[in-house]
Amino acid sequence: MEDPMPRPPRHDIPMGSALLVSVAFATTGVFGSIPQDDHAQIVRASRFFESRAWPIIERECLRCHGGEGRIRGGFRIDARSGLLVGGDRGPAFDEKNPEDSLILKMISWDSEEHQMPPKARLSDEEISILTEWVLEGATWADGVGNDVPAEAFEAQVIPDGGDWWAWQPLTEPTIPETGNPDWVRNPIDAFVLARLDEAGITPAPEADRRTLIKRVAYDITGLPPTPEEVESFVTDRNPDAYERMIDGYLDSPQHGVKWARHWLDAVRYADTDGYERDRTKPEAWRYRDWVVEAINEDKPWNRFLVEQIAGDELPDRDLQTLTATGFYRLGIWDDEPTDVELAKNDDMDSIIDVVSRGMMGMSVACARCHEHKRDPILQGDYYRLAAIFRDLKPYKERMGNAINANNITRRVPNHFGAEGEATFEREKRRYDEEFARAMIELRDRSGSVSEDLVSSSSDDGLVAHYPLDDTTKGVLSDATGRHDGRLLDARFGREGLDGGALGFDGGDDRAMIPNVARDSFTISLWMRTESQSNGPDEDPRWFRGSGLVDGEVSGIVNDYGLSMIGSGIVAAGVGNPETFINSPPGFNDGEWHHIAFTRDASTGRIALFVDGREVDSATGGKQSLDSIKQLSIGRMLPGGGGFNGTLDEIRIHDRPLGSREIAAMAFRTRFDDAVVEAIRESEGEEAAEEFNALRDRLLAMEPPSAETTLVLCARGHGPVPPGTNILIRGDAHSPGRAVKPGVPAVLGGLDFAPDPPKHGESSGLRLAFADWLVEDDNRVTWRVASNRLWQHLFGRGIVRSSDDFGSLGSRPTHPELLDWLAGEFVRRAGSRREMTRLILESSTYRMSNRFDEGSYNKDPLNDLAWRRDLRRLSAEELRDSILAMSGQLNLELRGPGVYPPLPRAVLETASRPDQAWGRANDAQAGRRSLYVFLKRSLRHPFLEGFDQPDTDRPCSVRFTTTVPTQSLMMMNSEFMDRQAARFAKRLRAESPGDLRGQIRRGLQLTLCRPPSDQEVAEIIRMIDELQAEDGLDPAEALEASCVLMLNLNEFLHVG
């Protein structure tokens, strides 16, 4: 059958290249020079272009890829230089192989990806003309199009955002005059009242004091005021009573708990990774605690943002600023992706989404694949932002089901930071010198008396002692006579400290002993080596090294070990959860070194000592380490790295020895009471007392703390970050042109090329971006932050779409007020507390929610803020308030997430119901809702049911739903049954034998006001009916009334 639409010759153009011309036209094609055999050929080619090809280009291409207006795909075709540079997809013209040029692929319409112009295919004749022009070298003609140098195309030609309000510089609005100056307490009121005056609306009257204290208490702490707090404020006639009440709640540590939740929503905080395994993110809770503490200490907003974005790049970085960068590690992570590159780009997209929406009020995510449809955000803008964060090590780099823990966590000394480290080093040096002097003096003073006792030193709790003197019989003899081991290959003796020792060749040499240390223990030994050990210095986890005493079992199990790593690092650790500690490098110097590894099972604390000094410690699990039956000496299990060196005097105790006991072993002396008595007998009382005084001085010495903390944090690739390319249609495997790190052109298009930090661990790009973000005149940062403050105090922002100030979002209801607040935020040095106080003190905030029909008719949505909006308690506020009523609320701060009981039916939805959720005692179950373990695949049903947001993506505005399941949970759920019973128990205890008093107290607690006699009588009548008609006993009837009180609208809402 004849083709109804014959096509011109295709010159072997590959099928998959069509979009490349649209992106060559969207990519700044590369039209190179043609071979110039003679002048006639040039003239002919130029005339052909001008008369035949250019009219097609001008008619079909320039509206999207010309020099005026929007330049799609970063490509211009109105100048020869534009063709030479190309756009997002690279050059449009291939000088060496013209037939492979992107422009030909795009106009061919061979596939859905290769269709230019996009609305209709060119005619066969037009395609033939353009094809001939390209194949003959794509010659340009003088005077055609625009004369633009190639350098101009390095910066994208992007519209400036026009007159859209969000892209305009911050203004300094004049505070308006109003018709009721007595109502104006501060400039906020002036801006609000000016709009109301224009609309002919009178603001609602001020709320009464009981309403105000309840409103402030919930808005600031998320908790109800106590009856005592209410009455104290109501009866306080001091003119500053309201202001002092505000300060009292702002000073409460619970303020940080409430306001941390707002920010954690915006950064999609959760304690787990998501997906099928939904593993726990290591130490994620430390970031949550950092947010709480930052709010409570009123960390300036600019510093609050900078520490999260670049806390590891700050000159004054410390443990807290590193913890803040856990911000980057909160996304959903697929631990076994089918496409690792796609997974890495998805995580990067999540980071960009949080930064752009949460901090900048911009929706840029769609530019991952294409230009923004409504806002002046091009695809190149998105990847310029991505380039800023490209120096972050990804959570995963290869196939398999493991997260790369070393990329996302770091063990940090608690004294980390320039000032802390300097202080620590001074104190440590002074302590080491004094301790060594005292220890040597003590050893010299004890003389031969101590030497006679050394062999039995620290015998309390000794369960095994391997002197390693005799290695000829294939038996590793235990001097206690209880736990002999076996020698496997390691049969050659070497000179030890006092007699023989056991040598290992770094191969199969090893010895096996029973695992006699499963709970609390101390493993100590003497070691000497000159060899480089297994494992890299930058990843000093004990199982990567050369075994000293090892009990490793594959997987996350109850195991432990002690090894040498890299350039003389001593490493130790325990499993489940995996907890690692290590020394500095340099202990492969050919000298004898004393090593001790301790564990206290009652606390989970592990510690590592080298030459009598503690070098590292951490807190792990408390369970018995019973996954191992035997310990390997001199080689890792299973079949891992072998130790090349000499070991001597291996001792195992069933308790964690104290630091001084370990020091005595390391200095090979003793100073216990047995030595004192021996000196007394041999040298007399005076000598014994002198020795005792010296011992007391030694025991009084306290070493500086060497505690460390494992943090989830940012880790950089080094001073030179990986390059970043635009990804064609967001495809991780289709890179286009390279881009430089920078901000969207609509915000100034600033490029970043900073000097890397002195520590050399990262590029400095994130710090440069953070510094730009928090500049005083940054139009997006301060507007977004001010709008969020307003939103969290009024229930909705001045801009309703608080994470999208673009054209797809809402316009501000009070634009001048928003700019004034942004400027005031800067003027108040980023103090969120001062800004909160300013808003709370305004007449606008103090308005009642009284309805007025006339005002409603003029402004039915209350956009002009003529009255206070009634709001239902948030999920967390509701649960916490119920716990407060029942007397079970635990206000403890900090620590890992807790696991309040879940219904069995909820647990059954997990793949492993018995392992899906932890356990909590009553005190832990009563912790505030912020501290409930937030598992992405198993949400707390009460919190989820009352609109706690999905944690897979950032949430800036929570929606309040009303669905039947909420009523069912409030009336008939395990949680409500437990709390109602406890509430009733509390009321009986506070008003024993007085039912009327119990009901009055219950209503006073739930309503934040004294109840009326009628309200009390109605509930007593209900209790009587429940007993008479339904057969409930008095305790059950009171519990039912407690359920009712916890369901009253006045309890559930804040006016």
Which residue has better confidence, 407 or 406? 407
pLDDT of residue 145: 64
Angle formed by the axes of helices 673-683 and 418-451, to 10°? 50
Q: What is the pLDDT of residues 498-519, one digit of tens each?
A: 788 888 888 888 889 998 888 8
Which residue has better confidence, 682 or 255? 255
* Collapsed DSSP state (helix, strand, coil) of residue 647: strand
**What amino acid is encoded at 785 in this protein?**
A
458 has pLDDT over 60:
no
Percentage with pLDDT > 90 across the chain: 57
Which residue has better confidence, 31 or 738? 738
Band of pLDDT at residue 63, cut at 50, 70 and 90: confident
* Collapsed DSSP state (helix, strand, coil) of residue 243: helix
Q: What is the pLDDT of residues 249-290, one digit of tens each?
A: 999 999 999 999 999 999 999 999 999 889 999 999 999 999
158 has pLDDT over 60:
no
Give the predicted TM-score (pTM) of the model: 0.76
Q: From CA 465, how far away is CA 595, in angstroms rounded?
A: 15
pLDDT of residue 82: 67
pLDDT of residue 789: 98
pLDDT of residue 888: 97
Which residue has better confidence, 707 or 979? 979
Query: Minimal CA–CA distance to 226: which of 237, 210, 250, 242?
Result: 210
Percentage with pLDDT > 70 across the chain: 90
Question: What is the residue-wise DSSP string for 123-141?
Answer: PHHHHHHHHHHHHTT----
pLDDT of residue 161: 64
Band of pLDDT at residue 155, cut at 50, 70 and 90: very low
* Most confidently modeled range among 35-49, 453-467, 907-921: 907-921
* Collapsed DSSP state (helix, strand, coil) of residue 653: strand
Least confident stretch, 181-185, 186-190, 385-389, 455-459:
455-459
Q: Read off the tokens for 478.
A: 């235990």
183 has pLDDT over 90:
yes
Q: What is the pLDDT of residues 579-599, one digit of tens each?
A: 889 998 889 988 999 999 999
Q: What is the pLDDT of residues 611-645, one digit of tens each?
A: 888 888 988 888 888 777 889 998 887 667 889 99
- Other CB atoms closer than 10 Å to residue 719's CB: what's the count? 16
* Collapsed DSSP state (helix, strand, coil) of residue 672: coil
- Cβ 173 vs Cβ 816: under 8 Å: yes
Question: What's the chain's average pLDDT?
Answer: 87
Domains, the chain, in order of start with CATH, read 15-154 (no CATH), 300-412+713-772 (no CATH), 415-453+673-698 (no CATH), 457-533+562-669 (2.60.120.200), 974-1054 (no CATH)
| DSSP 8-state assignment for residue 272 | B
| DSSP 8-state assignment for residue 7 | -
pLDDT of residue 156: 40
Cβ-count burial of 959 within 10 angstroms (0-12 exposed, 13-18 middle, 19+ buried)?
Answer: exposed
pLDDT of residue 99: 85
Long-range pairs of 538-541 with CB within 8 A, sequence gap ≥ 24: 538/406, 539/406, 540/565, 540/566, 540/569, 540/571, 540/580, 540/582, 541/406, 541/565, 541/571, 541/573, 541/578, 541/580
Sorted by sequence, the CB contacts under 8 Å of residue 558 that are 6+ apart come out as: 574, 575, 576, 621, 623, 624, 625, 626, 627, 628
Band of pLDDT at residue 559, cut at 50, 70 and 90: confident
Q: What is the pLDDT of residues 917-965, one digit of tens each?
A: 998 999 999 999 999 999 999 999 999 999 999 999 999 999 999 999 9
Strands 500-505 and 475-476: unpaired
pLDDT of residue 353: 97
Burial track 97-132 (b if 16+ CB lie within 10 A, e otherwise): ebebbbbbbbbbbbeebbbbbeeebbeeebbebbbb
pLDDT of residue 146: 59
* Collapsed DSSP state (helix, strand, coil) of residue 373: coil
pLDDT of residue 639: 63
28 has pLDDT over 70:
no
- The CB-side HSE value for 877 (13 A sphere, CA atoms) comes to 26
pLDDT of residue 80: 65
pLDDT of residue 1023: 96
Please provide the size of the chain in residues: 1055
Q: From CA 231, how far away is CA 213, in angstroms rounded?
A: 10
Mean pLDDT of 837-845: 98
Mean pLDDT of 793-809: 95
18 has pLDDT over 60:
no
702 has pLDDT over 80:
no
36 has pLDDT over 70:
no
pLDDT of residue 447: 63
Least confident stretch, 15-24, 265-274, 548-557, 982-991:
15-24
Band of pLDDT at residue 26, cut at 50, 70 and 90: very low
Band of pLDDT at residue 490, cut at 50, 70 and 90: low
